[in-house]
Amino acid sequence: MYKFKLASVVIGMSLAGSALAATEVEWWHAMGGANGEKVNEIAKAFNDSQDAYSVKPVYKGNYTETMTSAIAAFRAKQQPAIVQVFEVGTASMMAAKGAIYPVHQLMRESGQPFDESTYLSAVTGYYTSSEGKMLSMPFNSSTPVLYYNKDLFKKAGITQAPKTWQEVETTAKKLQQSGVSCGFTTAWQSWVHLENLSSRHNVPFASLDNGFGGLKTELTFNGPLQVAHVKKMGEWQKSGVFSYSGRTNDGAAKFYSQECAMFTESSAGYAGIKRNAKFEFGVTELPYWEGKVKQPSNTIIGGASLWVLQGHSKEEYKGVASFLSYLSRASVQADWHQFSGYLPITKAAYSLTKGQGFYAANPGTETGVTQMTTGTPTANTKGLRLGNFVQIRGVIDEELESVWSGDVDAQTALNTAVKRGNALLRKFERAND
């Protein structure tokens, strides 16, 4: 009898437990450091706001590691419900039709209110299908801007931040005369100096609307504009107007140490620069070539979005949908935007931030947003959708490096990059057709 009682108590408790326990939703992300802590904070705030679902963020290393582990987990049927994938992985995710649960469909099927027009199209455009449906939820998006050292500018007698590449050249030369050894350096060279160069001048980076039109896309970044820019950069590397400092954002060190007076880097680099720069700095829009375009177009984004993976229960997906709605709230978005320097994804978050006086108090933080939202995105500025893009960027890095070192001329290097990149595109087409 006693045993029976005990058993019923145990069963009763476990039933109660399962009724009370929130459905757990796993979220794999690549946000380390301060941003990682913020991610945990956001998840905790969501979990505290209701008791049906519990989002569990798991840090999985850098972007590549996070994506690779999610794919490996999918193959082993252990995938998380939500995974953060960087923008260059978009085409791979999109093509995996059996693996992803498109966000617009998830929201509809879970009965969450979802209005795509409230999002900033310049941000969501990168992640929408050719029919204009959102496939993933943008989370952290950024765009390249130009940072400059105000102290060094003052010393050289320069009063205006350069708007065009022509002005960058003359500014750099003036700086050099005043004793600065390097005009500018850059982070993420392919993203800034080829991908965004193309969109800023409304020139295609790849055929079929930069790959949005299908898998048969071919690279076209060996056109006259890109060749001229890369050629100029090669010359600048020799004269010290430009100084190359690696494939990622290691160039920041040269900007902090005041070796280089200007730095083209992601708008999300703002927090790091603010922390490390021991001088006054300014933020201005990414320059363009005067005479090559009348009105520069919007830049395209980098960063990452949240993809929902197949293979979970309906209950879990309800949790995912409610979490994604929570993330899109103006207050949550504005807080994340102001904390991290990533762009807001909804119009409401943008106007809320403006209303709070954040941009006025932190000059330069609005630059990325205004630059992103200039005009209506065209087929050349909506984004890039290229398979094997991670490898293609690697190819571009290699070929650009051979120009900076003076081994190969710009036209040959870009032709080779296009040829090697196209081979990777064909491989992707074959594997996913």
Partner 1 sequence: MTVTFPQKGLPWLLLLPQLLVTAIFFLWPAEQALEQAFYQEDAFGLSREFVGFENFIDLFTDPLYYQSMLTTLFFSFSVAILGISVALLLAVMADRVIRGKLAYQTLLIWPYAVAPALAGVLWWILFDPSMGPIALWLNSAGVDWNHYLNGNQAMILVVIASTWKQISYNFLFFLAGLQAVPRSLIEAASIDGASPFKRFWTIVFPLLSPTTFFLLVVNLVYAFFETFGVIDATTKGGPGQSTNTLVYKVFEDGFVGLDLGGSAAQSVVLMGIVGLMTVIQFRFIERKVQYS
Examine residue 431 and tell whether it contacts partner 1 (CB under 8 A). Answer: yes
Distance set, CA 68 to CA 71, 72, 183 (Å): 5, 6, 38
Q: How far is the CB of 311 from partner 1 (least distance, A)?
A: 11
Restricted to residues 184-243, the positions that interact with partner 1 (CB under 8 A) are: 237
Q: How far is the CB of 93 from partner 1 (least distance, A)?
A: 9
Question: Token pair for residue 359?
Answer: 């941009």
Restricted to residues 56-85, the positions that interact with partner 1 (CB under 8 A) are: 64, 68, 71, 74-75
Examine residue 99 and tell whether it contacts partner 1 (CB under 8 A). Answer: yes
- Smaller CB separation from partner 1, 285 or 399: 399
Examine residue 427 and tell whether it contacts partner 1 (CB under 8 A). Answer: yes
- Are 126 and 90 within 8 A, CB to CB? yes
Examine residue 405 and tell whether it contacts partner 1 (CB under 8 A). Answer: yes
The DSSP H or E segment spanning 46 is helix 33-49
Pick the closest to residue 185 from 156, 147, 154 (CA basis): 147
CA distance 124 to 118: 10
- Bridge partner residues of 185 (DSSP): 263
Examine residue 246 and tell whether it contacts partner 1 (CB under 8 A). Answer: yes
CB atoms within 10 A of CB 357: 9
Examine residue 409 and tell whether it contacts partner 1 (CB under 8 A). Answer: no
Q: Which of 95, 208, 225, 293 binds partner 1 (CB under 8 A)?
A: 95
Q: Which of 53, 114, 127, 244 binds partner 1 (CB under 8 A)?
A: 244
Examine residue 28 and tell whether it contacts partner 1 (CB under 8 A). Answer: no
Give the three-state DSSP class for 265: strand
Examine residue 253 and tell whether it contacts partner 1 (CB under 8 A). Answer: yes
Burial zone of 131 (CB within 10 Å; 0-12 exposed, 13-18 middle, 19+ buried):
exposed
Please choose, out of 30-38, 144-152, 287-295, 387-395, the segment that lies near partner 1 by the rule CB under 8 A. Answer: 387-395
Give the three-state DSSP class for 317: helix
| Site track 259-298 with partner 1 (rule: CB under 8 A), x = hit | x---------------------------------------
Q: How many CA atoms lie within 13 A of 241 on its CB side?
A: 16
Examine residue 164 and tell whether it contacts partner 1 (CB under 8 A). Answer: no
Looking only at Cα atoms, what is the longest distance across the chain? 95
- Smaller CB separation from partner 1, 100 or 107: 100
Burial zone of 116 (CB within 10 Å; 0-12 exposed, 13-18 middle, 19+ buried):
middle
Examine residue 422 and tell whether it contacts partner 1 (CB under 8 A). Answer: no
CA distance 103 to 100: 9
- Smaller CB separation from partner 1, 98 or 291: 98
Residues that bind partner 1 (CB under 8 A): 64, 68, 71, 74-75, 92, 95-99, 237, 244-247, 250, 253-254, 257, 259, 388, 390-391, 394, 397-399, 401-402, 404-405, 407, 424, 427, 430-432
